[in-house]
Amino acid sequence: MGSEKNELSRRAFLATATAAVPVSMVVSQGAQAASAPAKDRLVDVHHHFDEKNPKYIDDFLRISDRLNLTACMLTPFAHRKVVAEAARKYPTQIIPFGYVELDAPDVAQQVKELHDMGYRGLGELEFPKKPFTDRSYDPVYELANEYSWIVLFHTGIVLRQVFDKPEDITSSRMRPVHLEEIARRFPRLTVLGAHCGNPEYEWAAEVSRWNPNVFFDLSGSTLTKMRGRLNHFQDVFWWSGVGQDTATPNNDPSAFIKLVFGTDTELDRIEGVVSSYRALFDACDVPQSTRRMILGGTMSQFLKIV
C-alpha cells in the first residue's frame, strides 16, 4: 500500500522495528513430508516484490538459484503482469501472490483478475480501515476460499508511515486473534499470519494450535529483539507431544511445526534470516525433521512444488 517511498520506509521500519487449500487436508496428504524431494528447498512466504529495482526479477532469480529458494512473491496489483509472466517461466522459484487493498472499491474484481492470471494467493494484507474480520471484507475472503488460496495477513505492531499528518492505521485491526475467525469461517483458506503477531506471540501460537489452516511466520524484528531469550518460544509453542486436543500436522513431534519461513527483507538479507531461524531452532531444540518442514517442507506441500 502507498507510494514506493512508503513501501521502502515500511520495509526499513520492519527490518529494524519488528516482523496462509484447506491446510489440514493438504498436510495430511504429505505424510511422508520429511523425506519429500523438496525437503531442502527454502520457501519464503513473505517476500515483497521490489518495484524500485528494474532488474529485480533477475536479481531474485540469482539469489533463488544460489539458496535453492522459492518465494511467495507479494506483488502490488500494478506489477501483476510481470510477476505472472516470470512465475510461468520459473514456476518452482516464483509463486505469485497478489497484494490488494481490502478497502479498495474494486477489490473483488482485482482478486478475480489475479486468479485468472494464475495467482496462487494474496498478501500481505495490511493497513485495513476496519478490523480484518469486518464483514465488508467477506467478498475477498469468499473468493479466496473458493480458490482454496493461501492468504498472508500482517499481524501485530505496524509501522507509522507519516508523522506530520493524521493517519487512519492501527495495529489493533490486525491482531492475530482475528485470524481465528477468518480461518473458521473460511475453512478452505490457508491463513498465514506475518510476524507471529508481534508482540502477541502467545495469541498467535494458540490460534495456530486450534486451527489446522493457520500458520505464522517469524519475519520482522522478533528474532532480533528476542535473540537473547529465544527459548521463550518454548513456552509459547508449548504443546509438543502432549494430548489429543493439540494434534500437530502429521503428528509432528513439535508444536513449532505451526511456523513457516518468512523473511520480509531485501534479497541480500535473506540468508541472515535463515540464520536467525536456525538460532531459534537451536535454542528451542526443534527436531531436525520439523526444521525442514518450517524452512520449506510445509509450504512445498501446500504449493505442490517439486
Nearest distance in Å: CB 262, Zn ion: 9
Residue 60: Cβ-neighbour burial (10 angstroms; 0-12, 13-18, 19+): buried
Nearest distance in Å: CB 195, Zn ion: 6
Among 42, 194, 196, 305, binds Zn ion (CB under 5 A): 194
* Of 1 and 284, CB closest to Zn ion: 1
Round to whole Å and give the CA distance between 122 and 132.
14
Nearest Cα residue to 211 out of 194, 190, 196, 195: 190
Round to whole Å and give the CA distance between 263 and 113.
27
Nearest distance in Å: CB 249, Zn ion: 24
Ramachandran region of residue 165, left (φ > 0), alpha (ψ -120 to 50) or beta?
A: beta
Nearest distance in Å: CB 223, Zn ion: 14
* Of 194 and 204, CB closest to Zn ion: 194
- Site pattern 123..162 for Zn ion (x: CB under 5 A): -------------------------------x--------
* Of 61 and 169, CB closest to Zn ion: 169
Candidate segments 65-73, 133-141, 163-171, 189-197, binder of Zn ion by CB under 5 A: 189-197
Burial 34-56 (b: 16+ CB within 10 A, else e): bebebeebbbbbbbbbbeeeeeb
* Of 196 and 284, CB closest to Zn ion: 196
The residue nearest Zn ion at its CB is 154
Rg (CA), the chain: 18
> For Zn ion, how many residues bind (rule: CB under 5 A)?
2
* Of 194 and 280, CB closest to Zn ion: 194
Q: Does residue 95 interact with Zn ion by CB under 5 A?
A: no
Nearest distance in Å: CB 66, Zn ion: 25
> Footprint of Zn ion on this chain (CB under 5 A)?
154, 194
